[in-house]
């Protein structure tokens, strides 16, 4: 169970997050929707401490973080319970596909070299890229890179995995393979917070849909609640732009 309370973040005078609360149950898939500039990505980055939020509390497992006052060690400890998948994959270019998955486990002391390699082999098999394990990121397609990026995140056995628009940089024909993998991971019981613009996919995969606007959570509920009976005008406007995508749902 993850409990997020009152996350606030400003860049200079620009207040990006105005106190975001969120509860995420174990095994739950939360999809965050919102137009660009609504603070979705910043929120994810704050949850991973890639950005230091100005205020807020996060409880995850036995980590109780006050973003203002928690010690570096507590933050690092918390950070290692989370993992993030990036829009632009962000693989380590000097490492092979397999090393990209194994190295974080070794660096964070979660496994020795042999154990890390064994687990990395397992994961790379799971994402269907065994035959490419010795390739460098520059030799892989976007979809393949993102599948390695997902395997790298899973390798850390995170309590919660954050996905920041994992398919938005991909060619349309490659989106499917990544979405398929995300579906498998969700079905396997992973706790996920996902920012995406794939509405049909969001509808199918989400246990809870959160709509963010201007740095706050405007409304949240089941996919049926949000997609079929949105209460707020902003939510309705936002979703109307995606009706063509949803009609095929």
Partner 1 sequence: MDFNFQAMIQAIIYSVRYLGTTLEVSFAALVIGVVFGLIIALLRYYNVVVLSPVFQTLTTIFKGVPVVLIFLALYLFFSTGFDPMAKSMGWSIRFKQINPIWIAVICLGIMAVVNGTEIFRGAFSSVRKGQLDAAQSIGMTRMQTIRRVLLPQAVPVAVPVFGNLLINLIKASALCSMVGVVDIFSAATISGQQSYTFLEAYVGVALIYWAVVALIEQASGLLERGLTVHTRRAVA
Closest separation between CB of residue 53 and partner 1, Å? 15
| Residue from 41, 63, 82, 220 in contact with partner 1 (CB under 8 A) | 82
Q: Torsion angle, CA of 155/162/194/24, rounded to 10 degrees? A: 100
Q: Give the one residue of 2, 84, 111, 151 binding partner 1; rule: CB under 8 A.
A: 84
SS3 at position 85: strand
Residue of 5, 80, 197, 200 interacting with partner 1 (CB under 8 A):
80
Closest by CA position to 194, among listed 30, 53, 62, 58: 30
211: Cα separation from own chain's centroid:
16
107: contact with partner 1 by CB under 8 A: yes
52 forms part of the interface with partner 1 (CB under 8 A): no
The reply on whether position 103 binds partner 1 by CB under 8 A is yes
Looking at beta carbons only, is 26 or 92 nearer to partner 1?
92
Virtual CA dihedral for 222, 30, 87, 7, nearest 10 degrees? 110
Give ∠ CA 106-108-114 in degrees, rounded to 5.
Answer: 20
Interface region with partner 1, contact rule CB under 8 A, candidates 31-39, 84-92, 208-216, 231-239: 84-92
Nearest to partner 1 of 78, 227 (CB atom):
78
- Report whether 162 contacts 185 (CB < 8 A): no
**Could you say which of 39, 56, 104, 166 contacts partner 1 (CB under 8 A)?**
104
DSSP assignment letter at 111: S
Residue from 132, 147, 152, 234 touching partner 1 (CB under 8 A): that is 152
Give which of 185, 209, 186 is closest to 196, Cα–Cα: 209
Which residue ranges make up the site for partner 1 (CB under 8 A)? 48-50, 76, 79-80, 82-84, 86, 88-94, 103-104, 107-108, 136, 138-139, 149, 152, 156
């Amino acid at each position: 169970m993850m409990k997020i309370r009152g996350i606030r973040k400003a860049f200079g005078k620009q207040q990006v997050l105005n106190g975001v609360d969120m509860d995420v149950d174990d095994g739950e898939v939360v999809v965050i929707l919102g137009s660009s500039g609504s603070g979705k990505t910043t929120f994810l980055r704050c949850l991973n401490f890639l950005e230091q939020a100005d205020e807020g509390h996060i409880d995850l497992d036995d980590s109780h973080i006050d973003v203002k006052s928690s010690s570096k060690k507590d933050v690092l400890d918390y950070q290692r319970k989370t993992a993030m998948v990036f829009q632009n994959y962000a693989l380590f270019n000097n490492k092979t596909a397999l090393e990209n998955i194994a190295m974080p486990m070794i660096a964070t002391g979660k496994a020795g070299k042999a154990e890390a390699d064994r687990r990395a082999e397992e994961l790379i098999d799971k994402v269907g890229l065994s035959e490419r394990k010795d390739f460098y990121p520059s030799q892989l397609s976007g979809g393949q890179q993102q599948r390695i990026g997902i395997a790298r995140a899973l390798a850390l056995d995170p309590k919660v995995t954050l996905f920041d628009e994992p398919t938005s940089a991909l060619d349309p024909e490659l989106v499917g393979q990544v979405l398929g993998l995300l579906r498998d991971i969700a079905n396997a019981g992973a706790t996920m917070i996902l920012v995406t613009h794939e509405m049909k996919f969001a509808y199918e995969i989400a246990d809870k849909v959160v709509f963010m606007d201007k740095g706050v959570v405007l409304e949240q509920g089941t996919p049926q609640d949000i997609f079929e009976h949105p209460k707020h005008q902003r939510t309705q406007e936002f979703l109307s732009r995606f009706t063509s995508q949803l009609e095929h749902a």
